[in-house]
Structure 1
Amino acid sequence: MIKELIVVEGKSDTVAVKRAVEADTIETGGSAVDRKVIAKIALAMERRGVIILTDPDHAGERIRKIVSSKVRGCKHAFIPEKDATRKGDIGVENASPEAIRHALEHVHTSFEGAPALIGLDDLMAAGMLVHPRAAERRMALGNALGIGYCNGKQLFKRLAMFGITREEFEAALAQIDQGGITT
């Protein structure tokens, strides 16, 4: 049984999570996260801890930002878009039990205000910014590090927020450049 409560978007996500692991969930009911849901998540954070597992799309990222800005100390789990897509539909409910377990085994804790260990110049040199294949490379990097896809500015913030070390960053880049991690 996973100790923390897992924040998901809806009932279908809860069903998928429960197929993969023994855990309790809190459903946001979509991207309009109201204050009652935030209060429930805050209480869960105090009592058991919280892991946010939202869809790897714009709405999921919006929910993740809302919840983590209102409830400090949340952990984050990410499923790569390719593992959460079925027949063109993206969502946790489409992920296999293995993909969900993998995401929950590689949870990241947010370190608010953490210093950046990877600079913008490092991202530029790695082809993550202002590069013809920057979006593709950021997706591969997000998959390799288990931090999800994001734009360049968000990638910079996320690397700092999750305390990604230079060694982790360089190892992920090496995997990408050797063709070991794809989008």
Structure 2
Amino acid sequence: WTTALMLLVLAVVVAGFSVAEPMRVASASMSPTYELGDEVLVGKLAQLAGTPQRGDVVVFHEPHTGTLTLNRVAAVGGDELGIEDGLLIVNGEPVNEPYLDLGSVDGAYFGPVHVPAGHVFVLGDARAGSVDSRTFGVVAEDDVVGRVLLRLWPHRSTTQSAARTERPPTRFSPGVARG
């Protein structure tokens, strides 16, 4: 019984991490939505339900380095994207981005860029300091690991203060800072 129970527990853990995985945010590029040190749950089966959509916060393997990174999908295959005086323009239309910290938006100009089919263009919410598709280019949909489903820790809404508190010990191992 002991061996069977241990195998069952191992199977549940392995299956669980193929469906969703906790990860720790390792940069401030998604501030204020997700802060450095936040722990998030990344849904991996979301990729089976369809391609990433504009506005999704995704974890992906960064082109050229393979580093796991967390950013927001700004444009999908077939879209044309540009930034004019800090304002995101997709397919000629300004995009409402209520999640942005306006203090992090510089008056930059970028693009236009055409996103090829099977790729996404990602941006950090902290635009002025984010390393994103403006730096490393578009991301292949096949390199997207999953979508962020929710914040595990700390428990706060994105409108609350980002004041940090000591977090309790966790039962899972989020691995190295993977964002």
Q: Which structure has more strand as a fraction of its residues?
A: 2
Q: Which structure has more helix as a fraction of its residues?
A: 1
With a CA cutoff of 8 Å and minimum separation of 6, indicate the structure with the bigger relative contact order. Answer: 2
TM bucket normalised to smaller: under 0.3
TM-score, scaled relative to structure 1: 0.23
CA radius of gyration, larger in:
2
